[in-house]
Amino acid sequence: MNIPFLDLSRMEASLKVRLKKRFSELLDVGIFSGGKEVEVLENSVGDVLKSRFSISCANGTDALELALRALGIGPGDEVIVPAMTWVSTAEVVVMVGAKPIFRDTDADGLLQKDWEKAVTKKTKAVMPVHLYGKMVDMEDLTEKAKANGLFVVEDAAQSFGAFQNGKSAGTWGDVGCLSFYPTKNFGALGEAGMCLTQIQSLANHIRMLLNHGQPVRDQHESVGRNSRIDTIQAAFLNVLLEDFKTNQQKRKAIASQYLDAFSGIKSMRLPKGILESDHNAHLFVIQTEKRDELKAFLKERAIGTSIHYPMILPDMKPYLIEGDFYNARHSAKCGLSLPLNPYLKEEEVGIIIETTLKFFDSW
Ligand SMILES: *Cc1c(COP(=O)(O)O)cnc(C)c1O
């Protein structure tokens, strides 16, 4: 039996029927940019995440870039970014002409709490990343940001549906950015993203920037761009949102099985707090010194895994900068993502557990 890390073609037949139906309805309506589906998506996400303003856009990377632009961040400015994240977080800082300042993460891959030591006169913002679905301590981060007069742009691309003290990921910062990339826990059937903000003026600014700087049609107030969401993706997301809660329960149940099964393995570090509400169980990332051996062992037995991510940003050619980044480096070397998705069958979860235990028994 082959157990893929994630195979989106496995989505259940009844969901496929609903998606096809929505697609055929759209063909009859004939509106493929903007329209009611986009409005519904923004309102529904706003309701689910309790966000005042929810502005959909073309993808998560654009959402981050739009956030920085709307906040007026550009040349001469510095933005604090964790050394371990998906590349987008730093990429957008460079794209607006500012400089990413990398800080080490903690043992779980989240921006280390002493990040404010990197603040200089040039620092304009900090970008916490809720990596793997686990939220950064936002009470602490927003307080420090405020004390230093910094904007907070949350990279909530991996943390849709995580809540800390009743406030969702993406609603703590000045702007929070979501990605609906297909492999995320709330993913479209293509590219899509969203900015969340609780501030009216920022919401207006972001909406204007992503639509050619037009507050209203044919009135161009500033240089913008096109980063609108596809109507079709908004429509698919509206269907997929119906299953979100159930899928989250499945993720948490599998995560719980993994935790029970692996708690006795001394040479494995388990993801912290994955069953808590401030983790959405997007990824189940373990850490072990024998990561490469475990990955190969599972692969030989037809179990797919993934690495998020094998390289820290300061080691990448476009962002090259020397530094210790001890924890981030350790995560890159020892982190392994086990399959965790609603399409896994009970039997498959059993096999993943059994095979993993077998690997550690033999060491
Ligand atoms: C996926 C992701 C992004 C970018 O989202 P896209 O929709 O793929 O552009 C940004 N940051 C993080 C942490 C991500 O995981």
pLDDT for 88 equals: 98
| 75-119 tens-digit pLDDT | 999 999 999 999 999 999 999 999 999 999 999 999 999 999 999
Kindly tell me if the per-residue pLDDT of 362 is higher than 90.
no
Q: Report how far ligand 1's centroid is from the alpha carbon of 260 (Å).
A: 30
Q: What number does the ligand 1 atom closest to the CA of 191 have?
A: 7
Residue 71 backbone dihedrals phi, psi, to 5 degrees: -85, 0
| 316-326 tens-digit pLDDT | 999 999 999 99
| 136-161 tens-digit pLDDT | 999 999 999 999 999 999 999 999 99
Buried b (16+ CB within 10 A) or exposed e, 309-327: beebbbbeeebeeeeebeb
Confidence of residue 1 (pLDDT cuts 50, 70, 90): confident
Higher pLDDT, 362 or 325: 325
In the predicted model, what is the mean pLDDT of residues 298-316?
98
Buried b (16+ CB within 10 A) or exposed e, 103-131: bbbbebbbbbeebbeebeeebbbbbbbbb
| 180-230 tens-digit pLDDT | 999 999 999 999 999 999 999 999 999 999 999 999 999 999 999 999 999
| Residue owning the nearest CA to atom 14 of ligand 1 | 157
Question: Length of the chain, please?
Answer: 363
Kindly tell me if the per-residue pLDDT of 363 is higher than 90.
no
With the most atoms of ligand 1 within 8 angstroms of its CB, the residue from 179, 184, 227 to mutate is 179
Q: Name residues contacting ligand 1 (CB within 6 A).
A: 59-61, 85-86, 88-89, 129, 155, 157-158, 179, 181, 193
Q: What number does the ligand 1 atom closest to the CA of 130 have?
A: 13
